[in-house]
Amino acid sequence: MENVDKKLHGKKWLWLFFQKRALFVYLILLQAGFLFYIIISQSTFSRTLHHILVGTSFLVALHIVSRKMKGGFKLTWIFLILSFPVFGGMLYLLFRLQIGGSRFPKRMIQNHQKTCGDYLNDKSDYEKAVKSFHEYSSQISYLQNFAGFPIYENCYEKYLSPGEKKLEALLSELEKAEKYIFLEYFIIGTGVMWSQIFAVLKKKAAQGVTVRIIYDDIGCFSRLPKEIYQCLNKYGIECSVFNPFIPILTVTQNNRDHRKIAVIDGKVAFTGGINIGDEYINATDRFGHWKDASIMIKGPAVSSFVIMFLQMWELCTGTTEDYTRYLSKNEGQSSGGSFIQPYGDSPLDNENVGEHVYLQIINNAKNYLYIYTPYLIVDDSLISALALTAKSGVDVRIITPFRYDKKLVHMTTRSYYRELIMAGVKIFEYSKGFLHAKAFVSDDKIATVGTGNLDFRSLYLHFECGTCIYNSPVIRDLKNDFLETQKVCKKITLKDCTPNLAARLFQDILRLLAPLM
């Protein structure tokens, strides 16, 4: 593994240029170029194909208008088809009719129904929670009775921010592992953070502890060497890659595993925005100081993260797992009247769990609502909810990053500022660097910390997870962290977000294309 690290860091760009994954990109560009040549050539075949594609685009446009989907998606696709009548319809079909699309969601839904039906928590916690938090009873009921994610009492939660604190706690818990370690991350990158974790994983695997890792192939595209799979297996570490990248013109790659889950022995779990990479622990300066958030959980609620991991493991490997081997009878960790409700979100079941959690917290806010998000690219329903809550007298504050990781995405985020500020929402940009946390806190009663951004990808296209927390000390910690962070932020005014006409027009175009970002 040390040789692999040297290879990646010492000759990083040259090595990446010639490696197999770079070849995949060239093959895709070659396919696209060949298709374009066929379309623009003046042969009889190309003219016939042109008419077929334009006709296809017209039929696709009619189909989109009649479909039940988010208005933002409809508007974007109709705009693209009108702008590019030859390719627009085929592009939409490429997005919607993905390879293996009918089998993939069916298996995922079957797994979810099986596990949630078999391992649903005792109803007593649910009844107690609904009685104790009547104002959030609809949210609690939605997550448990419809989405299938139980609520638990007597758990221990600890808020961890920034990433350095998460790494310290994670390493400590990994050292205690006796039965198994499950890691599921969108990004795993070689470097200081990975080296420390990998050292513990090797030791634990040698001791007979089951170690399993799931990583997303696109998330790790330029971060892990292609030898990583063989390297992990050499040390007895099981590894599975989510949705491996293939050099074919298809957007089956569009649905990514954006979750960050670590589970040890069914007793402790971690989730939040922190991946495994040096920028997340500020061991490298990528966009200035990296501000992120995570949560550690102990007690019965860990079972939900065990189930989420095993569902994804089955999906990636095609195996069938005995869940009872990994579920522990956890004793209560506290008795302070707090409740916790982990949840997952899948793009394949037509149920936007993450969005619904956010909307319910927004709509239930009475005194204040504080939000961390790296991206603010949302549809009309979330914008309207935020604006109405602010207009109703609630103190709504949002912190986004000043330094960005994707320029166009950041410009699109800023395009929403004016509308929200005029409604009374207070917006701040984190001046020290990049803010990557995804968290809501409201009224000293409820919070959520997870992996889902306020953008179309997280809300509708990615596998995500998070946890709702009720009446826990974590809520106070998150609120205090937000207020401290606000001190190193710049408050955005209307003057700051009033661009000239050309910039305003460009922002409008970006917002129109937001569902594809």
pLDDT at position 371 over 90: yes
Instruction: Please give the pLDDT value at position 251.
Output: 47
Give whichever of 67-71, 287-291, 325-329 has the largest mean pLDDT. 287-291
Read off the pLDDT of each residue in 270-292 and give the average, rounded to a whole number: 95
Task: Average the pLDDT over 452-481 and give the result.
Answer: 94
pLDDT of 102 > 50? The answer is no
Question: Vertex 269, ends 263 and 271: CA angle to 5°?
Answer: 105
Of 383-387, 394-398, 412-416, which range is least confident? 412-416
**Catalytic center residues:** 258, 260, 265, 436, 438, 443
- Beta-bridge partner residues of 240: 214
Average the pLDDT over each of 52-66, 159-173, 296-310, 476-490 and give the range with the smallest value: 52-66
Query: Is it the case that residue 422 has pLDDT exceeding 60?
Result: yes
Q: For residues 375 and 353, what is the distance between their CA atoms, to the nearest angstrom?
A: 18
pLDDT digits (tens, 9 = 90+) for 66-88: 666 666 677 777 777 777 777 77
H or E stretch including 205? helix 192-206
The pLDDT value recorded for residue 99 is 39
Residue of 360, 320, 315 whose CA lies nearest to 466: 360
Domains along the sequence of the chain with CATH: 2-96 (no CATH), 103-338 (3.30.870.10), 353-516 (3.30.870.10)
pLDDT at 80: 75
- Across 158-170, b (16+ Cβ under 10 Å) vs e yields bbbbbbbbbbebb
Other CB atoms within a 10 A radius of the CB of residue 145 amount to: 13
